[in-house]
Structure 1
Amino acid sequence: MKQSLTRRAMLGALGTAVAATAGCQSPGTGSDSGSDTGEQPESADAVAQSDSVYTNVYQEVADAVVSIRVYAEDSRGGQGSGFLIDDEHIVTNEHVVAGGDEYYVRFADTGWRTASVVGADVYSDLAVLRIGATPDVTPLSFVETEPTVGTEVVAIGNPFGLSGSVSAGIVSGVDRTLQSANNFSIADAVQTDAPVNPGNSGGPLVTLEGDVVGVINSGGGDNVAFAISAPLTQRVVPSLIQTGDYDHPYMGVGLRSVSPRVAEANNLDPGSGVYITRVVSDGPAAGVLQGSDGETTISGTAIPTGGDVVRQMDDTPTPTRQALGSFLALETSPGETVDVLVERDGAQETVELTLGTRPEP
């Protein structure tokens, strides 16, 4: 059963980032009772309260986190992290397993075990490994609701191959957009300031209750790292297990958020929404949405004009490209028809768009 991690327990934490291994002495505890200075020995309750919350969450989660080694015939390969989600499946990043021929995983208290890739998706940077038998380990669960900015989190994994490492921080932002293959993007990513380095990829970013906020995707400096969100992971992973791949919804347009210059050039008030720069000729939006058909120059910069501005999809406002991307990724599927409220030639109208499937990478 998961332990209840209270705010009082946090008083014992000695920093916002620690590295822990099983059996380490908890920060804030020690053998000196203070009797030489006349102080009374601490009670058992006081000692328990001084345990670090990071130690607690590490001990609760670490057994389900694995090291991953990947080998390829051309001598390339790599390493990363992953975590158990049921009695045989491990989630990691697609870029951790890409190009591999042999895969091995190691739990905290086991040797290396062979694994196989059952599915991978480059557009979400998620992959699933299967192992034949697991130790007596409790799989990790995902958060039920997306975290708020400021939520305390820890990253557990194997940076630089150093297994069993934990670093701590907060959720610095949500609904971020990450670069993916073929100029597509990964929507709804979680930003954190928890230190993340090579080897953390594919590991879990968890709350202090041990629930997974996201699958660590990238990091490496400036207190900025990212994770594939729990909601997107929960949409993609079941399909990877069942069919080996995942079909992403596709509009067939080029998009950019409305900047002040785009708003000025296109007489947009308010200056928000998602501007359509182009429409793929044989894509789902062809004949439905309009891309830019001209440009003007402002302060020496060419600004596109004439394209539709998407204000809302179904009942969801789309003030930014990130908001539109998250709606598509989390609320729609290929083949569905959505109502798109656009601003076109100074007026608003609603058009129906049937989504397609994103092309193969």
Structure 2
Amino acid sequence: MRRNERGSALGYFLAALLGAVLGGLLVVNVTGKSRTPVAAVPPPSPVKETAAVIPNPTGAESVAEAVKQVGPAVVSIDTRVMPKRAEVPDIFRDFFGDHGSPMPQQGKGSGVIIDARRGYVLTNAHVVKDAREIKVTLPDKRQFTGKVVGQDEQSDLAVVRVSGSRLPQANLSAAGPPPIGSWVVAIGNPFGFENTVTVGVVSATERDITPEPGRTLQRLIQTDAAINPGNSGGPLCNLKGEVIGINTAIFAPAQGIGFAISSAHARTIVEQLITQGKVVRPFIGITYTLNTPEFRDYFELPTSDGVIISDVVAGSPAARAGLQRGDAIVEIDRVPIKKMEDLQKEILKRKVGAELDLLVFRGKESRVVKLRTAEMPANLPRPGQMQREMP
């Protein structure tokens, strides 16, 4: 009996040792060329309760099915951009020499086919900006020459057209914001790795971000699905296989903070880009910042509500109405302005040519300023380019 017990114990020991060695050999370093064995983590002690697992809300095949529906319509977009030649005075050109035209630059992004019959591809405006050549590649390796139908820098959306038959198509959802915490899938071509799929959740909706002065991207979906350079213009989809957003930006200092333009907002932009080649927006011609107690005291205002005008575009409705830097706008058509985005949202609700009543403070004096909105220029001057003196 003792020999059998001893033999059994030895057998268990050898089996455990062999399992540990094999387990260690199976965990390898795949980041480089070498495959160095890494020690396996010892198994935990048995517990009575079942270990927690990451939930899959609708079944193991949900992500795969969503990718199966949307993936074939996700394209890679390669562009060729010719940088503008620097304007150099002849005296310096003669001294330093003329090195000829600048070298063309290559760009890469993603897109999604939203209309197979007409060959419309939705992507980001910054993906195709100033592109002289556009090459669109499908997952089935077919390649087409793309032509920009329309682009809108303000929303960072563009529509590119390709001529081809039997094109796949993805469904651009018309629904409102997705539920926060719901699962989403991002598909694109980050760093040229074609048809890369990442998974995350909706972290927030209706986000507004300002990627550069004078331009605000609105109604964005925030997600922790990995988004990298090259993902721009690719779809963010739900587990039903519907495109709910167009991936457009990341918050570089952090991890897991990416943004997509909501499909509901994108649909309104796409319709205008296809029919008009541009987006028509109302415009009054100011840039502004949120009022604060410091601004209130500096401009001798009676309130710290509203926004402070920081620049006025020459020749704009605001300039013609006599608005100036330092004026505080506290109401628009009797709607209080409490946050930065309130003024823009109220203006965008109007059509071009609509009349507005602005309650404005200049120092301690209040006045109602009437003006009519104009069409926002295609090349809207940035704050640094705006004329600071009133005409």
TM-score by length of 1: 0.71
- What is the rounded CA distance, in whole Å, between the counterparts of 2:180 and 2:306 in structure 1? 23
Cα offset, 1:346, TM superposition: 5.2
- What is the rounded CA distance, in whole Å, between the counterparts of 1:141 and 1:153 in structure 2? 14
Aligned to 2:108: 79
Cα offset, 1:82, TM superposition: 0.6
| Equivalent position to 2:343, from 324, 331, 345 | 324
| Equivalent position to 1:94, from 103, 120, 125 | 125
- What is the rounded CA distance, in whole Å, between the counterparts of 1:50 and 1:234 in structure 2? 30
| Equivalent position to 1:255, from 282, 288, 291 | 288
1:242 aligns with 2:271: no
Aligned to 1:58: 67
Consecutive unaligned residues of structure 2, counting only runs of 5 or more, are 1-55, 83-102, 380-391
Cα offset, 1:186, TM superposition: 3.2
> Partner of 2:274: helix, strand, or coil?
helix
- What is the rounded CA distance, in whole Å, between the counterparts of 2:328 and 2:237 in structure 1? 40
Aligned to 2:222: 191
Consecutive unaligned residues of structure 1, counting only runs of 5 or more, are 1-46, 293-305
Aligned to 1:12: none
- What is the rounded CA distance, in whole Å, between the counterparts of 1:56 and 1:241 in structure 2? 30
- What is the rounded CA distance, in whole Å, between the counterparts of 1:336 and 1:252 in structure 2? 14
Q: AA paired with 1:113?
A: F
Check 1:317–1:80 CA distance in 2 against 1; reply closer, same or farther (3 A cut).
Answer: farther
| Equivalent position to 1:208, from 239, 264, 278 | 239
Identify the range of structure 1 (314-323 vs 261-270) with the bigger mean alpha-carbon deviation: 261-270
- What is the rounded CA distance, in whole Å, between the counterparts of 2:244 and 2:322 in structure 1? 35
| Equivalent position to 1:119, from 139, 147, 150 | 150
> Partner of 2:69: helix, strand, or coil?
helix
Check 1:52–1:265 CA distance in 2 against 1; reply closer, same or farther (3 A cut).
Answer: farther
Cα offset, 1:224, TM superposition: 2.1
| Equivalent position to 2:204, from 167, 172, 178 | 172
Q: AA paired with 1:325?
A: Q
TM-score by length of 2: 0.66
Check 1:187–1:49 CA distance in 2 against 1; reply closer, same or farther (3 A cut).
Answer: closer
Q: AA paired with 2:75?
A: V
Aligned to 1:310: 330
Q: Deviations over 1:251-287 (max 9, x none)?
A: 1112112345335556778754322223334211125
Cα offset, 1:78, TM superposition: 1.1
Question: Is the CA contact 2:172–2:263 (under 8 Å) kept in the aligned structure 1?
Answer: no
- What is the rounded CA distance, in whole Å, between the counterparts of 1:89 and 1:61 in structure 2? 15
Check 1:271–1:60 CA distance in 2 against 1; reply closer, same or farther (3 A cut).
Answer: farther
- What is the rounded CA distance, in whole Å, between the counterparts of 1:171 and 1:323 in structure 2? 23
Check 1:347–1:239 CA distance in 2 against 1; reply closer, same or farther (3 A cut).
Answer: same
Q: Deviations over 1:98-143 (max 9, x none)?
A: 2322222222234222221111222222211111124352332224
Question: Is the CA contact 2:75–2:138 (under 8 Å) kept in the aligned structure 1?
Answer: yes
- What is the rounded CA distance, in whole Å, between the counterparts of 2:305 and 2:165 in structure 1? 50
Check 1:260–1:308 CA distance in 2 against 1; reply closer, same or farther (3 A cut).
Answer: closer
> Partner of 1:55: helix, strand, or coil?
helix
Question: Is the CA contact 2:111–2:235 (under 8 Å) kept in the aligned structure 1?
Answer: yes
- What is the rounded CA distance, in whole Å, between the counterparts of 1:269 and 1:64 in structure 2? 57
Check 1:112–1:169 CA distance in 2 against 1; reply closer, same or farther (3 A cut).
Answer: same
Cα offset, 1:229, TM superposition: 3.4
1:285 aligns with 2:318: yes
Check 1:85–1:314 CA distance in 2 against 1; reply closer, same or farther (3 A cut).
Answer: farther
Question: Is the CA contact 1:187–1:322 (under 8 Å) kept in the aligned structure 2?
Answer: no
- What is the rounded CA distance, in whole Å, between the counterparts of 1:253 and 1:355 in structure 2? 12
1:355 aligns with 2:373: yes
Structure showing greater Rg: 2
> Partner of 2:226: helix, strand, or coil?
coil
Q: Deviations over 1:215-272 (max 9, x none)?
A: 2212264122222333442232222212322233221112112345335556778754
- What is the rounded CA distance, in whole Å, between the counterparts of 1:59 and 1:317 in structure 2? 48
Check 1:72–1:254 CA distance in 2 against 1; reply closer, same or farther (3 A cut).
Answer: closer
Question: Is the CA contact 2:170–2:243 (under 8 Å) kept in the aligned structure 1?
Answer: no
Question: Is the CA contact 1:172–1:191 (under 8 Å) kept in the aligned structure 2?
Answer: yes
| Equivalent position to 1:68, from 60, 77, 83 | 77
Check 1:270–1:48 CA distance in 2 against 1; reply closer, same or farther (3 A cut).
Answer: closer
> Partner of 2:294: helix, strand, or coil?
helix
Q: Deviations over 1:63-113 (max 9, x none)?
A: 221111123464312111111121220111111112322222222234222
Check 1:224–1:271 CA distance in 2 against 1; reply closer, same or farther (3 A cut).
Answer: farther
